[in-house]
Amino acid sequence: DGGITQSPKYLFRKEGQNVTLSCEQNLNHDAMYWYRQDPGQGLRLIYYSQIVNDFQKGDIAEGYSVSREKKESFPLTVTSAQKNPTAFYLCASSMGLSFSNQPQHFGDGTRLSIL
């Protein structure tokens, strides 16, 4: 079955530590996205990538970094510069910009907490 796989499901970060969240898709989608969701709030865009080897900052990119070396993979690193990283992180993918009526499909999320 095609889909988006995020790992791990739960992650704990120590002070001063960088952590990387994995996102893999086998839907052959060109575009991939990372969102952050805080309790009782909507999704806020961190980074997105429309094509391999290219990515753009979203609304809340500070303290995060990404890479897009392969079409299937879009890992997110939460750096020590992100002072309030506790949140639910969702990865999504969609067909390219030519398919504007196509929805984004989401992974099951990673819940990140501070130790």
Partner 1 sequence: GQNIDQPTEMTATEGAIVQINCTYQTSGFNGLFWYQQHAGEAPTFLSYNVLDGLEEKGRFSSFLSRSKGYSYLLLKELQMKDSASYLCAVRDGGSARQLTFGSGTQLTVLP
How many Cβ atoms are within 10 Å of 59's Cβ, its own excluded? 10
* Window 35 to 94, contacts with partner 1 (CB under 8 A): 35, 40-45, 48, 50, 56, 58, 88, 90
Structure tokens at 2: 């095609």
Nearest approach in angstroms of CB 36 to partner 1 is 11
Considering only CA atoms, which of 31, 25, 22, 32 is closest in space to residue 77?
Answer: 22
Q: Which of 5, 28, 51, 108 binds partner 1 (CB under 8 A)?
A: 108
- Which amino acid is residue 69, in one-letter code? E
Which residues would be at the binding site for partner 1 (CB under 8 A)?
35, 40-45, 48, 50, 56, 58, 88, 90, 97, 100-101, 103-109, 111
